[in-house]
Amino acid sequence: MDKKLFNFKCWPILSLLAIAIACEKGGQLHPVDNENDPANKEGPKSVVYIEVNNHNLLNAGSYTLAQSGKQLFDIAIVFASNINYDADQEKAVLHHNENVTQVLENRNVIIKPLQDKGIKVLLSILGNHQGVGIANFTSRSAAHNFALQLADAVNAYDLDGIDFDDEYARYGENGQPAANDSSFVMLVEELRQLIPDKIISLYDIGPAASNTEWQGKRAGDYINYSWQAYYGNYGAPNIAGLTDKNNLGPAAVWIHQQPSSEASAAALAQRTIDEEYGIFLYYDLPQTNSSAYLSSITNVLYGEGTEMSGDSYPWPIP
């Protein structure tokens, strides 16, 4: 993960107005703008991860389809918070770095404007080289404890759900147990009970993605979506219990890294349409205008190009 570059410039006056309005309304829950609700467009859901160490989450709301004016992205994912190990408490704990913290604690001007446009905002959970992860809980109580921390974050910041990314955990190191076949299933079962109406998704990678059935329980009975984890590749996730093509994303692109030619991004989009899958995944939306690149995909997915109809937001907040 490249997390080094920052960009500075003044934010538009609109952001200041948004702060004032949010304060006046006392943190009112987000209304949905049905006119621009991404769900109104036909075709696969467009899901985007945004590296908030480098880029502003708000840019997910700056792209619309050129003719219909519909929002391009259906789901924007804050990448990423971590699952850490607290030696004093001897348990896994949820950790937000300073950039994720800035996003969450400024939800009224970073998260809420996206939700007002109908875009769902999820928080991604990633390993952090400490030996613990979502695939090595050894008891239901431990899984429940971490699920409770996740649910508390979702409720505290009015998020639309949690995304799991089982990378960088280093299972078996730092005196921690190896990954097992029960952990992830227990975790999503516990989390679903705590956030019954929210989204739970899985980036299809790591031991968690390989252990999705345990004692007759299936991860797919508790999660909503899963998508491809290898950019430039094609292949639907194989998650026990999650079989509806509308909930699977077989294709993924790293924006500006995969060629937009017929050999790559556009071809992945075409295959997604041909095989009738319901999700297309994008990674690392930058501050720069990416409408030309995105159009190579959306012309296939939706029959129209993409334009940057909103502002280009810098990061971090000046």
CA distance 5 to 312: 16
Q: Give CA torsion, residues 188, 58, 53, 297, to 10 deg.
A: 80
Q: According to the model, what pLDDT value does residue 261 have?
A: 62
Share of the chain above pLDDT 70, in %: 86
Does residue 215 lie within any of the structural domains? yes
The tally of domains found in the chain comes to 1
Span 27-35, mean pLDDT? 36
- In tens, the pLDDT along 159-198 reads 999 999 999 999 999 999 999 999 999 999 999 999 999 9
Range of the domain at 169: 33-308
Does residue 78 lie within any of the structural domains? yes
Span 120-131, mean pLDDT? 98
Q: Which residues are catalytic?
A: 167
Whether the model pTM is above 0.75:
yes
Span 21-34, mean pLDDT? 35
Does residue 27 lie within any of the structural domains? no
199: domain CATH number? 3.20.20.80
CA distance 194 to 84: 21
Does residue 39 lie within any of the structural domains? yes
Does residue 193 lie within any of the structural domains? yes
Does residue 235 lie within any of the structural domains? yes
DSSP per residue over 27-60, as a string?
SPPPP--GGG-GGGSSSPEEEEEEETTTS-GGGG
* Residue 190: φ, ψ to 5°: -65, -40
Q: Are 265 and 235 in contact (CB under 8 A)?
A: no
Residue type, 142: A
Higher-confidence position of 285 and 318: 285
Q: According to the model, what pLDDT value does residue 30 have?
A: 32
